[in-house]
């Protein structure tokens, strides 16, 4: 986050764009602190009254949690509603509440105090656990405690806000975002969070512009301050000047007009002015995104991340559970193709191995984990194969660094096919297989890999980090992560040439595919498929349809000769602005 | 009073779902049910207590049953644990 003071009161901040759109309006600071608990001695005759208060508070708490669980299930699905199950069970814990009642009778203190003392014991024990899962459950326990105390104190959790506001808060769970959206919410700004969190996904689905990751924002901004939220760039302006307001209002208008053209663009092909055709697809995680993806004119799903099936789960989903989910995605996208990527996780997600890797990024993850855990891998392979029965599914392996890995994975895929065939379970025998090119070694041997598979998909997010030896999450060096570093550009050219030399198509599912500034370059380098975040699809298509392939090739050749990112970027910006004057480049 | 040591077989250990299954089963019996693990002893009929145990795969716990149906309770609870909580 960078902060610059401009023009007196106006403050400009930068966060992570989580949901696109521009919002202008007053802020509402949403506090979700725990209630204040005071210690109070009570007399013997007050015991009964205190116990009654507890009984009432428990009834109310159960009602609330049940309602939230139902609402969550409706809006987010059964899986998400399970978050609240553990909390409901605690409310029914007879042993716990008997202890609490006894303590109250013996110590003669108010119920809030006794409650916190007793539940606090368990909370502290869980926080101190070596097991990460148990530590996470500690916040469930604290949530239950706070809910009971709020009901004891008859406080309502503010969810009704008068007027239209941009809601500002430290952290927003998906449930909060849902509940608050019943008000007239112009946007969300949070201090903590990531662009791929469930809250961000929900905000995008609800079309509420959002920005996350602005540290201490709640202390910088004041109640009812006027704020501009630019969910495209992640910029926030507090107390915008008249000039700033004008600039953003016109940007808002531009985007609205651009969105009107969406209808027209949606059914048009991603084809250059001189007839060069590429495939424009979307990256997806949840079935809730499919409708939006179709409306954005995607031609398929270039990356379906299966890791979401593991979120908040304690065990790996069974083959059956996975099949059900993959089938929904495949059916939802049909007749378009879906590329399913096998689990791309770090080994730490496997409970059995409590390994603490010093450098997980260079460690046990992606295909390495799957090849070492054949039972889990075979479950997933069979589930994906079963979902391919309608012949619109492809499979992709992450973090490949060696031809041996591809061959082994293909052997296992073959074995999975035989198992299903023996039981007469239908699947696509010709299912296309591809690998992600993200480890630099894979890029160097891209031709060898291409001989083993049907396609390559470039994962720029990790590829660039590995190639430039930069950790994006490290604030000190994150500026060195450069999409247009000459080494990256040359690497991309190699990968594409080598892949196509072996007659496989080469696509890209990393963030760079969705960067409008990179579109012409990638086109010119010969990229066959762009798989992007759904909301940027129309813009990328517009660029493709506004240029000539011959020009894109020329641009790529020029760029390949340049030796700094700055030179490359300013050259490309210049070309693009001339070709597409109304393109909105950040 | 009867007791037996059991080992957790589940890959993910005794997380929320098996904990709930254990507590639900124990609630059927009149006997008191305590679980001893490391230095802790918790009431096996309390979900919040069992959640705190954080028993991972391979860990052992001592199950203690005391009451009129203690034999049956111990048998059934041990069976549940050894079945991997039916996961």
- Structure-model confidence comparison of residues A243 and A139, the more confident one: A243
A159-193 pLDDT, tens digit each: 677 788 999 988 776 667 767 777 789 999 998 87
- The pLDDT, as a whole number, for residue A83 is 63
A43 reaches B (C-beta below 8 A): no
Q: If you average pLDDT over residues B26-40, what whole number do you get?
A: 93
Annotated catalytic residues of A are 198, 509
Measure in Å the smallest separation between the Cα of A355 and chain B Cα atoms: 14
Please tell me which residue of chain B has the smallest CA distance to A125: B52
Chain length of chain B = 87
**Does pLDDT of A335 surpass 80?**
yes
Return the CATH class of domain A279-431.
Answer: alpha beta
Q: Which of residues 88-107 of A touch B (CB under 8 A)?
A: 89-90, 92-96
**Does pLDDT of A520 surpass 60?**
yes
Does the distance separating the beta carbons of B12 and A131 come in below 8 Å?
A: no
Q: If you average pLDDT over residues A515-527, what whole number do you get?
A: 96
Pick from A192, A152, A196, A150: nearest CA to A172: A192
Contact predicate A543/A519, CB 8 Å: yes
Q: How many independent structural domains does chain B possess?
A: 1
Cα–Cα distance measured from residue A26 to residue A479, given in angstroms and rounded to the nearest whole number: 32
Instruction: Assign A285 a pLDDT band (cuts: 50, 70, 90).
Output: confident
- Structure-model confidence comparison of residues B33 and B12, the more confident one: B33
Helix (H) or strand (E) holding A104: helix A94-107
Q: What is the CATH number of domain A3-32+158-248?
A: 3.50.30.10
Instruction: Assign A2 a pLDDT band (cuts: 50, 70, 90).
Output: very low
Cα–Cα distance measured from residue A455 to residue A449, given in angstroms and rounded to the nearest whole number: 9
Please tell me which residue of chain A has the smallest CA distance to B52: A126
- The pLDDT, as a whole number, for residue A264 is 80
A381-410 pLDDT, tens digit each: 999 999 999 999 999 999 999 999 999 999
Same fold, A44-152 and A257-278+436-581: no
Q: Which two tokens stand for residue A178?
A: 């849902």
Instruction: Assign residue B69 the CATH number of its domain.
Output: 3.30.1340.10
B2 reaches A (C-beta below 8 A): no
A158 reaches B (C-beta below 8 A): no
Return mean pLDDT, chain A: 88
Instruction: Give start and end residues of each alpha helix (H) in A154-295.
Output: 174-180, 198-205, 217-220, 242-266, 290-295
Cα–Cα distance measured from residue A332 to residue A291, given in angstroms and rounded to the nearest whole number: 8
Partners of A449 in the beta sheet?
none
Does the distance separating the beta carbons of B15 and A93 come in below 8 Å?
A: no
Measure in Å the smallest separation between the Cα of A526 and chain B Cα atoms: 46
Kindly report whether the peptide bond that precedes residue A25 is cis, defined as omega within 30 degrees of 0. Answer: no
Cα–Cα distance measured from residue A363 to residue A369, given in angstroms and rounded to the nearest whole number: 10
* Percent of residues, chain A, with pLDDT higher than 70: 90
Query: Residues with Cβ < 8 Å from A181, sequence gap 6 or more?
Result: A206, A208
Kindly report which listed range (A44-53, A166-175, A241-250, A345-354) carries the lowest average pLDDT score. Answer: A345-354
Which of A137, A315, A352 has its CB closest to that of B87?
A315
**Does pLDDT of A246 surpass 90?**
yes
- The pLDDT, as a whole number, for residue A16 is 87
- The pLDDT, as a whole number, for residue B49 is 92
CATH architecture, domain A44-152: Orthogonal Bundle (1.10)
Measure in Å the smallest separation between the Cα of A563 and chain B Cα atoms: 51
A375 reaches B (C-beta below 8 A): no
**Does pLDDT of A196 surpass 60?**
no
Does the distance separating the beta carbons of B49 and A96 come in below 8 Å?
A: yes
A291-308 pLDDT, tens digit each: 888 888 999 999 999 987
**Does pLDDT of A352 surpass 50?**
no
Domain that holds residue B11: 2-86
**Does pLDDT of B34 surpass 70?**
yes
Reported pTM: 0.64
Task: Spell A345-372 as b/e; 16+ CB within 10 A means b.
Answer: bbbbebbebeeeeeeeeeebbbbbbbee
**How big is the A-B interface in CB pairs under 8 Å?**
68
- Structure-model confidence comparison of residues A80 and A144, the more confident one: A144
Write the burial class of residue A436 (CB in 10 Å: 0-12 exposed, 13-18 middle, 19+ buried).
buried
Q: If you average pLDDT over residues A490-497, what whole number do you get?
A: 97
Cα–Cα distance measured from residue A113 to residue A103, given in angstroms and rounded to the nearest whole number: 10
Q: Which of A84, A85, A86 to mutate to test the interface with B (most CBs of B within 10 A)?
A: A86
**Does pLDDT of A530 surpass 90?**
yes
Q: If you average pLDDT over residues B43-58, what whole number do you get?
A: 89
Own/partner long-range contacts of A427-431 (Cβ < 8 Å, ≥24 apart): A427/A385, A427/A386, A427/A388, A427/A389, A428/A385, A428/A388, A428/A389, A428/A390, A428/A391, A428/A393, A430/A391, A431/A385, A431/A388, A431/A393, A431/A394, A431/A395
Write the DSSP string, A36-80. P----B--GGGHHHHHHHHHHHHHHHHHHHHHHHHHHHHHH-HHH
Does the distance separating the beta carbons of A131 and B17 come in below 8 Å?
A: no
Highest-pLDDT range among A209-218, A263-272, A411-420: A411-420
Which of A93, A350, A354 has its CB closest to that of B48?
A93
- The pLDDT, as a whole number, for residue A158 is 60
CATH architecture, domain A257-278+436-581: Alpha-Beta Barrel (3.20)
Does the distance separating the beta carbons of B10 and A94 come in below 8 Å?
A: no
Cα–Cα distance measured from residue A367 to residue A405, given in angstroms and rounded to the nearest whole number: 8
Q: If you average pLDDT over residues A279-285, what whole number do you get?
A: 94
- The pLDDT, as a whole number, for residue A308 is 79
Partners of B59 on chain A (C-beta within 8 Å) are none
- The pLDDT, as a whole number, for residue A1 is 46
Contact predicate A536/A516, CB 8 Å: yes
Q: Which of B51, B53, B56, B59 to mutate to test the interface with A (most CBs of A within 10 A)?
A: B51
Does the distance separating the beta carbons of B87 and A129 come in below 8 Å?
A: no
Query: Residues with Cβ < 8 Å from A316, sequence gap 6 or more?
Result: A310, A376, A379, B11
Cα–Cα distance measured from residue A378 to residue A290, given in angstroms and rounded to the nearest whole number: 27
Measure in Å the smallest separation between the Cα of A317 and chain B Cα atoms: 10
A555-572 pLDDT, tens digit each: 999 999 999 999 999 999
B71 reaches A (C-beta below 8 A): no
Query: Residues with Cβ < 8 Å from A226, sequence gap 6 or more?
Result: A24, A25, A26, A27, A238, A239, A240
Partners of B46 on chain A (C-beta within 8 Å) are 93-96
Cα–Cα distance measured from residue A12 to residue A205, given in angstroms and rounded to the nearest whole number: 27
A452-484 pLDDT, tens digit each: 999 999 999 999 999 999 987 777 887 788 999
**Does pLDDT of A355 surpass 90?**
no
Write the DSSP string, A258-292. HHHHHHHHHTS--B-TTS-B-EEEEEE--GGGHHH
Active site residue B75: no
Cα–Cα distance measured from residue B70 to residue B30, given in angstroms and rounded to the nearest whole number: 8
């Amino acid at each position: 986050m960078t902060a610059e003071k401009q023009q007196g009161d106006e403050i400009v901040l930068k966060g992570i764009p989580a949901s696109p759109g521009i919002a202008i309006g007053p802020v509402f600071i949403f506090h979700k602190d725990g209630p204040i608990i005071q210690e109070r001695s009570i007399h013997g005759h007050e015991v009964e009254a205190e116990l009654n208060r507890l009984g009432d508070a428990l009834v109310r708490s159960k009602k609330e949690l049940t309602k939230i669980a139902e609402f969550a299930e409706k809006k987010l699905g059964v899986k998400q509603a399970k978050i609240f199950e553990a909390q409901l069970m605690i409310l029914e814990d007879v042993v716990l509440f008997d202890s609490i009642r006894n303590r109250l009778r013996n110590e003669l203190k108010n119920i809030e105090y006794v409650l916190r003392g007793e539940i606090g014991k368990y909370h502290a024990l869980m926080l101190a656990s070596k097991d990460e899962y148990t530590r996470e459950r500690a916040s469930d326990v604290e949530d239950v405690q706070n809910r009971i105390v709020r009901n004891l104190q008859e406080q309502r959790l503010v969810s009704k806000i008068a007027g239209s506001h941009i809601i500002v808060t430290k952290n927003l769970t998906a449930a909060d975002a849902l509940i608050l959206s019943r008000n007239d919410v112009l946007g969300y700004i949070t201090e903590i969070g990531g662009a791929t969190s469930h809250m961000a996904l929900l905000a995008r689905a609800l079309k509420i512009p959002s920005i996350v990751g602005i540290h201490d924002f709640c202390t910088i901004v004041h109640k009812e301050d006027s704020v501009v939220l630019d969910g495209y760039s992640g910029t926030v302006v507090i107390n915008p000047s008249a000039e700033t307001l004008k600039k953003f209002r016109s940007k808002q208008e531009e985007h609205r007009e651009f969105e009107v053209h969406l209808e027209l663009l949606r059914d048009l092909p991603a084809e250059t002015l001189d007839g060069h055709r590429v495939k424009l697809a979307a990256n997806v995680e949840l079935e809730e995104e499919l409708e939006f993806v179709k409306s954005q004119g995607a031609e398929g799903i270039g990356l379906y991340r299966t890791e979401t099936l593991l979120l908040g789960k304690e065990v790996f989903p069974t083959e059956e559970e996975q099949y059900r989910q993959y089938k929904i995605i495949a059916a939802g996208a049909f007749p378009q193709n879906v590329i399913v990527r096998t689990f791309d996780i770090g080994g730490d997600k496997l409970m059995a191995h409590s390994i603490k890797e010093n450098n997980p990024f260079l460690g046990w993850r992606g295909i390495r984990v799957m090849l070492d855990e054949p039972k889990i891998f075979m479950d997933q392979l069979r589930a994906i194969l079963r979902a391919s029965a309608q012949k619109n599914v492809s499979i992709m392996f992450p973090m490949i660094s060696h031809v041996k890995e591809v061959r082994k994975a293909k052997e296992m895929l073959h074995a999975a096919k035989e198992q299903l065939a023996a039981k007469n379970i239908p699947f696509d025998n010709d299912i296309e297989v591809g690998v992600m090119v993200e480890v630099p070694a894979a890029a160097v041997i891209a031709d060898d890999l291409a001989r083993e598979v049907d396609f390559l998909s470039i994962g720029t997010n990790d590829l660039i980090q590995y190639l430039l030896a930069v950790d994006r999450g490290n604030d000190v060096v994150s500026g060195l992560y450069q999409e247009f570093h000459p080494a990256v550009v040359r690497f991309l050219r190699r990968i594409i040439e080598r892949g196509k030399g072996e007659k496989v198509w080469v696509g890209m599912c990393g963030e760079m595919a969705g960067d409008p500034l990179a579109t012409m370059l990638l086109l010119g380098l010969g990229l066959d498929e762009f798989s992007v975040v759904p909301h940027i699809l129309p813009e990328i298509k517009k660029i493709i349809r506004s240029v000539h392939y011959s020009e894109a090739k020329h641009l790529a050749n020029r760029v390949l000769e340049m030796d700094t990112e700055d030179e490359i970027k300013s050259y490309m910006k210049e070309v693009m602005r001339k070709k597409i004057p109304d393109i909105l480049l950040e | 009073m009867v007791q037996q040591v059991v080992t957790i077989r589940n890959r993910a250990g005794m997380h929320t779902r098996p904990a709930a299954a254990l507590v639900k089963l124990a609630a059927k019996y009149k006997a008191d049910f305590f679980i001893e693990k490391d230095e802790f002893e918790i009431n096996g009929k309390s979900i919040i207590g069992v959640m705190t145990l954080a028993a991972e795969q391979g860990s052992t716990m001592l199950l203690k049953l005391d009451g009129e149906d203690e034999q049956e309770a111990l048998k059934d609870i041990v069976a549940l644990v050894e079945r991997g909580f039916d996961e």
